[in-house]
Amino acid sequence: MTAPEPEWAALLSRLPEPGPGRTTIGLAVDTGPHGADLLRAATVLADDFPELGYLWLDDGASAAGGAAAARAMDARGVRLVVGHFNSASALAAAPLYARGGAVLLAPGATHPALTGAMPHCFRLCAHDLRQARLFAEELVVTGERPVLVTQRIAHGKSLGDAIEDLLRAAGCTPLRIDADRPAEIPPLPPGPVAVIGRHAFAAALLPRLASHPRVLLSDDCRTPHLLDAIRPGSSDLRVAALGGAADPAPNGGAYALTSRAALEILAGAVEIAGPGPAAVAEVLRIRRWPTCLGTIEFDAMGEPLGIDWHWLRIAPAFAVEAN
47-82 confidence digits (pLDDT tens): 999 999 999 999 999 999 999 999 999 999 999 999
pLDDT at 252: 59
Q: How far apart are CA 100 and CA 106, in angstroms?
A: 17
Query: 57 in the Ramachandran plot: left (φ > 0), alpha (ψ -120 to 50) or beta?
Result: beta
Across the range 161-172, mean pLDDT stands at 97
Angle, helix 128-140 to helix 154-169, in steps of 10 degrees = 50
For domain 128-250+309-321, give the CATH superfamily. Answer: Response regulator (3.40.50.2300)
With a CB cutoff of 8 Å and minimum separation 6, the contacts of 161 are none
Closest CA to 251 of 7, 10, 37, 32: 37
Cα torsion 209, 214, 218, 220 to 10°: value is 50
Is the pLDDT at 39 greater than 50? The verdict is: yes
6-125+255-292 and 128-250+309-321 have identical folds: yes
245-279 confidence digits (pLDDT tens): 455 554 557 788 899 999 999 999 999 999 999 99
Q: Where are the domains of the chain?
A: 6-125+255-292, 128-250+309-321
- Higher pLDDT: 140 or 243? It is 140
208-226 confidence digits (pLDDT tens): 888 898 999 998 888 766 6
Closest CA to 107 of 312, 318, 302, 315: 302
pLDDT at 179: 97
- Residue 242: count other Cβ atoms within 10 Å of its Cβ: 27
Q: What CATH number has the domain spanning 6-125+255-292?
A: 3.40.50.2300
Q: Is the pTM of this model over 0.85?
A: yes
Is the pLDDT at 173 greater than 80? The verdict is: yes
